[in-house]
Amino acid sequence: MYAPVRPVLLVVAHGSRDPRHAQAVHALVRRVRALRPDVRVETGFLDFNVPSVQGVLESLETEGVRDVVALPLLLTRAFHAKADIPAVLAAAPPRLRIRQAEVLGPSPLLLSALERRLYEAGLTPADKSSTGVVLASAGSSDPEAIAVIAEIAREWRHTGWCAVRPAFASASLPRTEDAVRLLRELGCARVAVAPYVLAPGFLPDRIARGAAGADVLADVLGPAPEVARVLLERYDAARTPVGMAVGA
- Residue-wise pLDDT tens digits, 36-53: 999 999 999 999 999 999
Q: What is the pTM for the complete model shown?
A: 0.94
What does the mean pLDDT of the chain come to?
Answer: 94
Question: Is it the case that residue 178 has pLDDT exceeding 50?
Answer: yes
Question: Cα angle vertex 97, ends 198, 35, to 5°?
Answer: 40
Confidence of residue 3 (pLDDT cuts 50, 70, 90): low
Q: What is the pLDDT of residue 79?
A: 75
Question: Is it the case that residue 245 has pLDDT exceeding 70?
Answer: no
Taking residues 2-16, what's their average pLDDT? 87
Contact indicator for 70, 85 with CB cutoff of 8 Å: yes
C-alpha to C-alpha distances, 168 to 6, 107, 191, 211, nearest whole angstrom: 38, 19, 16, 12
Q: What is the pLDDT of residue 241?
A: 63
The HSE-up count of residue 74 (CA atoms within 13 Å, CB side) is 25
How do 8-13 and 67-72 pair as beta strands? parallel
C-alpha to C-alpha distances, 77 to 40, 83, 94, 103, 219, nearest whole angstrom: 25, 10, 26, 6, 23
Contact indicator for 85, 98 with CB cutoff of 8 Å: no
Contact indicator for 130, 188 with CB cutoff of 8 Å: yes
- What are the φ and ψ backbone dihedral angles of 236, each rounded to 5 degrees? -65, -40
Percent with pLDDT over 90 in the chain = 90
The HSE-up count of residue 169 (CA atoms within 13 Å, CB side) is 21
Q: What is the pLDDT of residue 4?
A: 65
How far apart CA 49 and CA 148 sit, in angstroms, is 28
Percent with pLDDT over 70 in the chain = 95
- Residue-wise pLDDT tens digits, 93-144: 999 999 999 999 999 999 999 999 999 999 999 999 999 999 999 999 899 9
Taking residues 203-218, what's their average pLDDT? 98
In one letter, which amino acid is 212? A
Question: Cα angle vertex 87, ends 83, 89, to 5°?
Answer: 125
